[in-house]
Amino acid sequence: MGSLHQQPAIKRPHVVVFPYPSQGHINPLMEFAKRLVSKNLHVTFITTERIRERMIQAQDGVAAHVTTVMQDIRIETVPDGLSPDNEETKDRDMIFDLLRKVGGHKFEQLIERLNSEGDTVSCIVYDSFLEWVPIIANKFDIPSALLWTQSCAVYSIYYHFYAGMVKAKDEAENARDIIAIPGLPQLCQSDLPSFLQPSNTYASLLRFQLNQFSTVSQATWILGNSFNELEMAEIQSMDSLIPIRTVGPLVPSAFLDGNNPDDQDVGTHLWKAANCIDWLNKKEASTVVYVSFGSLAVLSKEQIIEIALGLKASQHSFLWVIRPDHNKEEEKDIRDFLEGFIEETMDQGLVVSWCPQMAVLNHPSVGMFVTHSGWNSTLESLSSGLPVLTISQRSDQTTNSKYIEDVWKTGIRLNKTRDGPVGRDEMEKSIKTIMEGESGVDLRKNALQWKTLAKKAMVKGGSSNKNIDWFVHEVIARTTLA
Ligand code: UDP
């Protein structure tokens, strides 16, 4: 018999998750989406039509259990605004502008449609690169959560520059000048994100990075892909400015916390991942050097040659991811060089266009990671307990590599100079130090300690897990009140 005082049914909150359309942003936001689903929220994941198409093509053959993890996440698309005439453009201002205008307009229509279909949106989790999203959310009176996809140190650095609390220097010779920012270790100019260094030639990318803060006051919550134990002072120092709550590392659950053993791959690759696991299975424990520069970096021919010869001279087995998108002018020379190199080193290494990185980093045969130190790769190396050799290219990678070497002490950094790339001899020596030397043992020990702390943050009762629970409760409270 029904009670006269029946409570109104509580709606299952519906969270829309909207990453910037590039691999390093889609991955952590998809992992966050999976966590929300596991906490019984209903999630719609937004991406652009072009990216969706690439994901479908690349996913062909993804293991069934990974697809199962994602089946409860509804995918919707918006256009990126690029036409066949300008889809190859490198003009960042144009790319951001079109996404904001064309994508933003369609995004508004999408929210209207979801609401009118009875799938009322309770909250929008957006990538800080999409600074226009909270304005749309406010129009609909929907609370929004900014998800910062770089480190909290970088969050603090950009904010201090944005707010004029620290001034950029314009003289290249001052690369060793100290930049003082509360909560951060002493940084030289050359430790700052490359866009803040005097040598920066990407003015639009610096504008874009700083612009992330222009609408931060309109976001209801600010979340970060990091964890308290890793960046305690950096996080605390932002409490009196714009507090950030960490919910990471946002990596497939099976490799870290084990809360969802089926979550063994992010499932959002934009390139088809090669099966290199069979090859790794044939190698002895901790004998393989894994090399990857992420999804965006385009290395010069010179740098590719130096890496190749450094790897070869190290005499260690290697697995090297070389994406097919080379610098156009050097493309033919690079292909010719690689063809010869791959043949010569057939017994030593394997070169692939893309791989399932977390599975590789966690494979027992892998002994170290040569990385550009993008933020996801950095968190993934810490979560996997692997020592690293960093060869940063640009953006926040310079700051991440400073932390890796001097703060977290899990790796060695090699910096390219203005005159040239990192050389083969430095590569060979550093690989040998990590794989064979005493200091390599210490780096590995430190990395394993970070892995333990990262896991602790993500399991029940851990700092990031509690922050995710807090966020879910906040969303539920607002949905029930609505
Ligand atoms: N990645 C991958 N397979 C590869 C190379 C990279 O799955 O062969 C993933 C990697 O695990 C990470 C992302 O691509 O999640 C790259 O992000 P990151 O922040 O490291 O660098 P970005 O691509 O943004 O420069």
Looking at the structure, do residues 471 and 343 belong to the same domain, yes or no? no
pLDDT of residue 482: 58
pLDDT of residue 89: 84
Question: Closest ligand 1 atom, CA of 321?
Answer: 8
Looking at the structure, do residues 244 and 330 belong to the same domain, yes or no? no
Decide whether any atom of ligand 1 lies within 6 Å of the 290 Cβ: no
pLDDT digits (tens, 9 = 90+) for 173-220: 566 678 899 999 999 999 999 999 888 888 889 999 999 999 999 999
Decide whether any atom of ligand 1 lies within 6 Å of the 354 Cβ: yes
Looking at the structure, do residues 408 and 334 belong to the same domain, yes or no? yes
Looking at the structure, do residues 395 and 345 belong to the same domain, yes or no? yes
Q: Taking phi first (over 0 means left), then psi (-120 to 50 degrees means alpha), and beta for anything else, what does residue 267 get?
A: left
pLDDT of residue 178: 82
- Residue 5 domain-assigned? no
Decide whether any atom of ligand 1 lies within 6 Å of the 355 Cβ: yes
In terms of residue numbers, what domain contains 170? 14-265+459-481
pLDDT of residue 1: 38
10-residue mean pLDDT profile of the chain (482 residues): values are: 47 94 97 96 96 89 68 93 83 91 96 95 97 97 98 98 84 69 94 91 90 96 98 98 98 96 93 95 98 96 97 98 89 95 97 97 98 98 98 96 98 87 96 96 98 98 98 92 59
- Residue 428 domain-assigned? yes
CATH number of 290's domain: 3.40.50.2000
Decide whether any atom of ligand 1 lies within 6 Å of the 376 Cβ: yes
pLDDT of residue 177: 74
Looking at the structure, do residues 281 and 261 belong to the same domain, yes or no? no
CA 167 / ligand 1 centre spacing (Å): 32
pLDDT of residue 2: 40
* Total count of domains within the chain: 2
Looking at the structure, do residues 119 and 164 belong to the same domain, yes or no? yes
Looking at the structure, do residues 134 and 250 belong to the same domain, yes or no? yes
CA 114 / ligand 1 centre spacing (Å): 31
What residue's CA is closest to ligand 1, atom 5?
Answer: 294
**Omega of the bond prior to 249 within 30 degrees of 0, cis?**
yes
Decide whether any atom of ligand 1 lies within 6 Å of the 27 Cβ: yes
Q: Which of the listed residues 150, 154, 357, 372 should we mutate to test ligand 1's pocket, taking the one with most ligand atoms within 8 A of CB?
A: 357
Question: Closest ligand 1 atom, CA of 397?
Answer: 25
Q: Which of the listed residues 377, 390, 393 should we mutate to test ligand 1's pocket, taking the one with most ligand atoms within 8 A of CB?
A: 377
CA 116 / ligand 1 centre spacing (Å): 37
Looking at the structure, do residues 41 and 177 belong to the same domain, yes or no? yes
- Residue 453 domain-assigned? no
Write the CA distances from 437 to 42, 432, 433, 441, integer angstroms: 50, 7, 5, 7
pLDDT of residue 59: 83
Handedness of CA 22, 23, 28, 34 (dihedral sign): positive
Model-wide pTM > 0.85: yes
Question: Closest ligand 1 atom, CA of 377?
Answer: 20
Looking at the structure, do residues 429 and 468 belong to the same domain, yes or no? no
Q: Which of the listed residues 22, 23, 293, 384 should we mutate to test ligand 1's pocket, taking the one with most ligand atoms within 8 A of CB?
A: 23
Looking at the structure, do residues 158 and 129 belong to the same domain, yes or no? yes
Decide whether any atom of ligand 1 lies within 6 Å of the 295 Cβ: yes
- Residue 451 domain-assigned? no
pLDDT mean across residues, the chain: 93
Looking at the structure, do residues 294 and 246 belong to the same domain, yes or no? no
- Residue 41 domain-assigned? yes
Decide whether any atom of ligand 1 lies within 6 Å of the 104 Cβ: no
Distance from C-alpha of 149 to C-alpha of 248, rounded to nearest angstrom: 10
- Residue 325 domain-assigned? yes
Decide whether any atom of ligand 1 lies within 6 Å of the 357 Cβ: yes
Looking at the structure, do residues 88 and 141 belong to the same domain, yes or no? yes
Residue the block writes with tokens 């057939």: 346
- Residue 92 domain-assigned? yes
CA 319 / ligand 1 centre spacing (Å): 15
- Residue 450 domain-assigned? no
Decide whether any atom of ligand 1 lies within 6 Å of the 145 Cβ: no
